[in-house]
Chains A and B, each alone.
Chain A
Amino acid sequence: MNINATLIGQMITFTLLVWFTMKYVWPPLLQALEERKKKIADGLAAAEKGKHEMELAEKRATTLLREAKEQAADIVGLAQKRAGELAEESKQAAKEEGERIIAAAQAEIEREIQKAKEDLRQQVSALAISAAEQILQQEVDRNKHADIIQNLGNKLGQA
C-alpha cells in the first residue's frame, strides 16, 4: 500500500494512453459522428425539399388537368356546332338536289307530252289522209295536195 516507483510507471502509462487516444482514437470517431450527423441533416433536408416539390408538381398537375378539361369541352362544343352546320348544309344540298331532280323530271314529262302529241298528230293526219283516199277512191297526190295536208296537220296540231 506504499507509494513507490510504480507511481512513475503508472503516470507514464497513463500519459501514453491519453496521448494515443487524443491522437489516433478520438478524432476519427468524432469525425465519423459529425459526418453522419451532417448526412442525416442533409437527408432530412432533401426529403423536405422533395416533399415540397411533390406538392408543387401536384398543384401544377391539377392546373394542367383543369386546362385540359376546359380545352376538351371547347373542342367538343366546336365539333357539335360544326356537325350541326354540316347537317344543315347537307339537308340544304339534298333539298336542292331533289328540286333539281323534280324539275328535270317535269321537263322530261313535258317533252314526252310534246312528243306524244306530235306522234298523235302525225298518226291522225295519216289516218285522215288514208280516210280521204278511200273516200275519193283515188290516189291523192301528196305532192299536189301537200299544202292541204299541211293545213290539216296544222289544224289538228292546234286542237
Chain B
Amino acid sequence: MASEAHGGGGATGYIVHHLTPLSAGEGFWTFHLDTLFFSVVLGILFLALFRKAAEKATADVPGPLQNFAEMLVEFVDSQVKDAFHGKSVLIAPLSLTIFVWIWLMNFMDLIPVDLLPLIGSVVGLEYLRVVPSTDLNATFGMSISVFFLILFYSIKVKGGIGFAKEMLLSPFGKWMIPFNLLLKLVEEIARPVSLALRLFGNMYAGELIFILIALLPWFIQPLLSFPWAVFHILIITLQAFIFMVLTIVYLSLAHEDH
C-alpha cells in the first residue's frame, strides 16, 4: 500500500506525496485545484441537502431530512442566542454554514488516505490532497472572511470614530496611544490567525497520523487506524464547533459598544 502511488523515496516520499496538493499556476497565482474542487463539491452538497430540507419545510410532522436539518439549525441557533444578544440576519446562517462546511471538509479525513489519490492516479492526477481543511488557504479563506465581517460590524455599530477610539484609547488611556494601538492590532489579527491555524493544525496532524498508520504493516493498521478514526470523529466535530463558536463570539464582541 505504501509504495504504489508515488515515484519513489520510500516512506518520506509517500508522506510528501500525500501532502502535496494538485496545483496549477505559478507563484502567488497558484491554485490548489483539489482544495478548490473538494470544498466546492462539499459546499454544494451542504447547500443541496439543506435547500431540499428548507423547500419542504412544514410546521407539520417533519420528515427525516427536515428533522436532521432542524436539529442542526436549532443547535446553531441556540449557540448564537447564547453568545450574541443583538439582532442580525447574518450571524446564524453564517454559523450554520461554517459548522457544516468545516465538518464536511474535515470528514474527508476519515476516507481511507489512499483511496481517492489512487482513483486520481488512475484518471491521471499526479497529486491529490483530499482534505480541504489541511490547506492553509481554505482555513484562512474562512477566517479572513470572518475577520472582514468583524471589521465591518465594528465600524458599522460603533462608527468610524468609535472604532478608532477603541483602537487607540483602550486599555490604557490617551497617554499610551501607540502602545494601545499595538496591543489592539495584535488582538485583532490574532483572531483570524488563531482560527485558521487551529483548524489547519488539527486537521493536518490528524491526516499525518492516518498517513503514518498507513505506512505500518497491514495487520497492525486496523488496530491503530480504527481507534484513531473514532477519536477523529470527535476532533472533526469539535474543530467545526470551535470555529463556529469563536466566530459567534468575535462577531458579538464587534457588536458591543463600549
Contacts from A to B (Cβ < 8 Å) = 1-11, 13-18, 20-22, 24-33, 35-36, 38-39
Contacts and interface: CB of A to CB of B under 8 A. Distances in A.
Nearest to B34: A6
Nearest to A31: B57
Contacts of A27: 54
Interface in B66-102: 66, 69-70, 73-74, 77, 89-90, 92-94, 96-97, 101
Contact of A22 (B90, B135, B140): B90
Given A6-B36, A7-B144, A26 B96 contact: yes
Contacts of B66: 29, 32
B28 interface: yes
Given A4-B29, A17-B101, A28 B55 contact: yes
B69 A29 contact: yes
Contacts of B94: 18, 21-22
Sorting the interface of chain B by its residue count into under 10, 10 to 19, 20 to 34 or 35 or more gives 35 or more
Contacts of A29: 50, 53-54, 57, 66, 69-70, 73
B215 interface: no
Interface string B27-49: 11111100110011001001100
B221 interface: no
23 contacts: A2-B136, A3-B136, A5-B25, A5-B28, A5-B30, A6-B30, A6-B36, A6-B135, A9-B141, A10-B137, A10-B141, A11-B144, A14-B145, A17-B46, A17-B47, A20-B47, A21-B50, A22-B89, A25-B50, A25-B53, A25-B54, A29-B73, A39-B59
B138 interface: yes
A125 to B, nearest CB: 125
Nearest to A34: B59
A30 B92 CA distance: 10
A8 B94 CA distance: 18
Contacts of A14: 97, 101, 141-142, 145
Contacts of A9: 31, 36, 137, 141
Contacts of B90: 18, 22
Contacts of B69: 29
Given A4-B25, A14-B141, A18-B145, 8 more contacts: A6-B30, A10-B142, A24-B54, A26-B92, A28-B54, A28-B57, A32-B57, A39-B59
Given A7-B141, A28-B54, A30-B73, A1 B136 contact: yes
Contacts of B27: 4
A36 B67 CA distance: 12
Contacts of A20: 47, 51
Nearest to B146: A14
Contacts of B12: none
A49 B134 CA distance: 58
A33 B74 contact: yes
A1 B200 CA distance: 10
A1 B43 CA distance: 22
A7 B39 CA distance: 12
Given A5-B25, A25-B50, A28-B55, A17 B97 contact: yes
Contact of B138 (A10, A35, A39): A10
A29 B60 CA distance: 12
A42 B94 CA distance: 32
Given A6-B137, A25-B54, A25-B96, A13 B36 contact: yes
Nearest to B27: A4
B39 to A, nearest CB: 6
B112 to A, nearest CB: 23
B46 A4 contact: no
Nearest to B90: A22
B49 to A, nearest CB: 9
B59 A4 contact: no
